[in-house]
Structure 1
Amino acid sequence: MKNGDRCLFRPILPEDEPQLLAFIARVTKEDLYYRYFSEINEFTHDDLANMTQIDYDREMAFVAVRTSAEKSEILGVTRAISDPDNIDAEFAVLVRSDLKGLGLGAKVAGKADRLYAKPWPAAP
């Protein structure tokens, strides 16, 4: 990132649910609205489970994670969901609101674009 921080870009995992909730808490309502195109007041456990437990036949999601000795935190999320024929896909990027302007969104989008352009892998 422009501030010198480094992060790891990896697939989202089911055990990321608590980190994802902490990430969402640091995203403004306005940014959430622009991401989901509606007001969302709360993310339930089921919502978070759907975001972290991926159906790799039609969906891919990656997180940008910063890890220190004390903790690991999600800084950004990208997701693509394809149509049933795997011809078209919806693509989204969300970056923590306090980190906007550091180039993270562009980095995440660029990495995701390269990954999503390839044939999707089978489930791990």
Structure 2
Amino acid sequence: RVYRLYTEKLKGIVDTPVIPEGYVSSFAQYTIKLKNKEERDALQAKLKEKGIPSMVYYTKPMHKQGAFAEYAYDDNDFEVTNVLCDTVLSLPMHPYLNEEEIDSVIKLISANIKVEIENRENKS
């Protein structure tokens, strides 16, 4: 239910998770993708300011972690991984979230994205 509401209400605002046909999700997290690190970090700060928890679970790609240092991976080999580590944010996701709480999260995301877009346009 929470997944469905987030997906419906965030459509066209941010990139949302897609569950391919024939697959199921544990729904442990609901992770959205923003345009860039600045947009993601600004949104996370605004959520925190309003007392809404969010999390960046993967801040450092595996190929950049100490355990893999000896392999000297080239960043260009992991472009998608690098982008995702900078742009994804997990929203509150639990069975006790009600629609009003979900709506307040979405309203905040929508307002913050609008501000970020305006800021980008003003810099152009």
How does the TM-score come out when normalised to structure 1?
A: 0.30
Flag the structure with higher helix content. 2
Query: TM-score, structure 2 length as denominator?
Result: 0.30
Greater RCO, 1 or 2 (C-alpha within 8 Å, sep 6+): 2
Task: Name the one with the larger strand percent.
Answer: 1
Query: Which of the pair has more CA radius of gyration?
Result: 2
